[in-house]
Amino acid sequence: MADLTHLQPPGVTINGYIEDEYETRLNAALRPWDRDSTPDAGLLGVPYDGASVVRSGSREAPDAVRQAFYYNTTYSPDFDVDIADIEIADLGDVDVDLMDIATTHARTEDVMTALFDRGVTPVVVGGDHSISYATVAAACERPDIENLGLIQFDAHQDLRHSHGGQPSSGVQFRQLLEERPEFDGEHYAQVGIRGFMNSKPYMEYADDQGITVFSGRDVARQGMETVVSEALEIATTGTDGFFATVDIDCLDLSIAPGTAAPSPGGLSAWDILEGVYAVGSHPKSLGMDLVEIAPPHDVNGLTSITGATILLHYLGGLSTRR
């Protein structure tokens, strides 16, 4: 069984706000992990942004998201779901090497493998999007996975060859497609790709690989419920499980200004909440990561609050399976 050598305690611990015997505050449900128990799910931070190609700052996201839980309870009337029904824990942070992407990825993969071995569903907060190389690779290495699906909520495809010959936060999914036999384009859906921020050759590469791309315009026209249903069909048919990744820049800049590449025309808050809840509730869902929140560029913590709410909706979906 993989060990937890490279796992550190959380950077911050959220404290209580208002005590009420008739509601459960999130701080009471999400406590630092004792490493002996086996929670149903756990929050894992990967505070690394050394591969960011535009604005950095996402290394600060894990703690900013933790602090954004301050006002939350465990219950949502939207779905009539209470995540207090499952055991969750703050697992801590990966001991990253800010100067070495390969070391950071190896340590993240080791910790993820250890969590999977223990039966914990990881809910990961990056960090830049390069960390998905490690989270998805760890999912591929599970002994019960021969074929892995992937759903990516993003404005960008992240299918580059490299950035001037160097690794970056935009190459990880091409690397995975080329290196991991468990993962192929037929079981890979991208949701929210949009704007004058992408490349026709990379879109053609996606088509050649059999990747299904739902543009931002597709979501606006068809609705997220339809799109995520199709994405789940792609990621789960013929696979043993699937992983999900959410780049916060999939959202419109009006609700997620604190990111490396904010832009207009993105998904709405309800789009991503509906999508992530559906992902979490699917029985083949193995976990998710949330990346590219950059607190130094945020406005009044809006993006971190949005990110925290996204994670809660994934956990809400997960709780319906328990």
Q: What is the pTM of this model?
A: 0.95
Instruction: Render the burial of 64-73: b for 16+ CB within 10 Å, e for the rest.
Output: bbbbbbbebb
Mean pLDDT of 56-75: 93
If you average pLDDT over residues 1-30, what whole number do you get?
83
Angle at 257 between CA 219 and CA 252, to 5 degrees: 15
Q: What angle do CA 268, 224, 151 make, to 5 degrees?
A: 100
Q: In terms of Cα–Cα distance, which of 187, 191, 190 is closest to 149?
A: 187
Instruction: Give the model confidence (pLDDT) of 217-260 as tens digits.
Output: 999 999 999 999 999 999 999 999 999 999 999 999 999 999 98
CB-CB contact of 150 with 256 (8 Å): no
Domain boundaries, the chain: 7-147+243-319
For residue 42, pLDDT over 80 is answered with: yes
pLDDT band, very low/low/confident/very high, at 112 (cuts 50, 70, 90): very high
- The pLDDT assigned to 165 comes to 57
Structure tokens at 58: 């996402």
Q: What is the pLDDT of residue 51?
A: 75
Residue 22 has pLDDT above 80, yes or no: yes
Q: How far apart are CA 124 and CA 244, in angstroms?
A: 10
Is residue 319 over pLDDT 90?
yes
Largest CA distance in the chain: 57
Q: What is the structure's pLDDT at 162?
A: 59
Residue 79, CB half-sphere, CA atoms under 13 Å: how many?
Answer: 24
CA distance 280 to 283: 8
181 pLDDT tier (thresholds 50, 70, 90):
very high
Tell whether the torsion through CA atoms of 55, 60, 61 and 65 is positive or negative: negative
Q: Which stretch of 26-30, 83-87, 111-115 has the lowest confidence by average pLDDT?
A: 26-30
Query: Residue range 22-40: average pLDDT?
Result: 91
Closest residue by Cα to residue 46 from 1, 102, 107: 107
Angle at which helix 224-236 crosses helix 269-281, to 10 degrees, equals 30
Of the ranges 13-27, 53-67, 120-134, 168-182, which is most confident?
120-134
| Counts of helices then strands in the chain (DSSP H, E) | 10, 12
Looking at residues 59-72, what average pLDDT do you find?
A: 94
Percent of the chain at pLDDT > 70 equals 95
- What architecture does CATH give domain 7-147+243-319? 3-Layer(aba) Sandwich (3.40)
Provide mean pLDDT across the span 41-53: 90
pLDDT beyond 60 at 1: no
Position 20 scores a pLDDT of 81
pLDDT at 168 over 70: no
Q: Given this model, what pLDDT does residue 159 score?
A: 81
Average pLDDT for the chain:
93
What's residue 17's pLDDT? 67
Quote the radius of gyration of the chain (alpha carbons, Å).
18
Buried b vs exposed e over 276-306: b needs ≥16 C-beta within 10 Å?
bbbbbbbebbbbbbbbbbbbebbeebebbbb
Structure-token match 């990744």, residue found:
245
CA distance 26 to 90: 11
* Average pLDDT score over residue span 179-196: 96
- Mean pLDDT across 259-270: 93
